[in-house]
Amino acid sequence: MTDLAANRRAIRHLLDEYNPADAAASYYAFYHPDGQTQLLPYPNGAERAQGYMALSRTGMDLFRPLLTLRLPIQNMAASTEVIYQELVPGTAVILLAPTAYLPLLQALFEIHSEEHLDVLVLDRSRFEPIINVLVSSSTGPNRLPRFVIRNINSPEQEVVAASGINWQTPHFAEISVNTAVSQQRHGYGKSVAAAMVQYLLSNGRTPLYMAAQQNMASQQLARSIGFTGSGVSKVILQAVLRPRP
């Protein structure tokens, strides 16, 4: 893991771990499990990189890595070099990037799907804990805490609402919320999300929430708990790298 440690040092100045805009990229560059992370600074071997790519194996997709990156976006040639330095044309990826990168990515990748996300950050002054006796704690598939509400009237006691942690750094954590379609509009999603927010605050992390810009229900749920716009937007793409132009 020596090379990974050296590569992390080489790119550290490119990310601000205390900034919501860099929080997800910081997680995948610095905190994602070492054995599931390939970090590629540009230029290769530089002690102070101009840009980088991180390829992360996640539970999101078994065959396509999640690609996060920072580019010298003012320099088109250098930005192109960052991508083609290690990525082979025809490689399929899921790509999470700042919205400002979209024109370059559209030129270099064949885009199969495109979703625009708002990054919301908790405003602690707007958050009020919710006491709901139906909420219980458990552990998610990623072994991180999860809060759930179960249907106690069914034999299987299936989960009808859950809030988990997608990733966390020492400073931030991105939460997820899922509610069964048949159980929506009962406040279950808000209850489990509020429990997760309270847990993260007690552990010294600022909760973040990424919501698709067109998903008004998700946006409204987050804002009802106390999340507010950070001014940061990202794109998540399913894409295949084109031949080098």
CATH number for the domain including 186?
3.40.630.30
Give residue 177's domain range.
124-225
Position 157 scores a pLDDT of: 83
Instruction: Return the H-helix or E-strand segment holding 52.
Output: strand 51-58
Considering the domain architecture, whether residues 111 and 172 belong to the same structural domain is answered as no
pLDDT score at 154: 78
Centroid of chain to Cα 168: 9
Are 179 and 163 contained in the same domain? Answer: yes
Based on the fold, state whether residues 134 and 68 are members of the same structural domain.
no
Mean pLDDT of 186-195: 94
Region 178-206 average pLDDT: 93
- CATH number of domain containing 101: 3.40.630
Q: Based on the domain organization, do 108 and 14 belong to the same domain?
A: yes
Same domain, 135 and 112: no
For residue 82, is pLDDT > 70?
Answer: yes
The predicted pLDDT at position 1 comes to 44
Considering the domain architecture, whether residues 104 and 130 belong to the same structural domain is answered as no
- At residue 2, the pLDDT reads 61
158 shares a domain with 140: yes
Both structure tokens of 92: 């399929």
Do 184 and 109 lie in one domain? The reply is no
Average pLDDT (67-83) is 94
What's the pLDDT band for 45 if we cut at 50, 70, 90?
Answer: confident
Instruction: For residues 150-157, give the mean pLDDT.
Output: 82
| Residues 92 and 111 placed together within one structural domain of the fold | yes
User: Could you tell me if 130 and 83 lie in one domain?
Assistant: no
Half-sphere exposure of 92 (CA within 13 A, CB side): 7
* Percentage above 90 pLDDT, the chain: 86
Our count of domains for the chain comes to 2
- Where is average pLDDT lowest: 22-31, 37-46, 84-93, 146-155? 146-155
Paired residues of 210 in beta bridges: 119
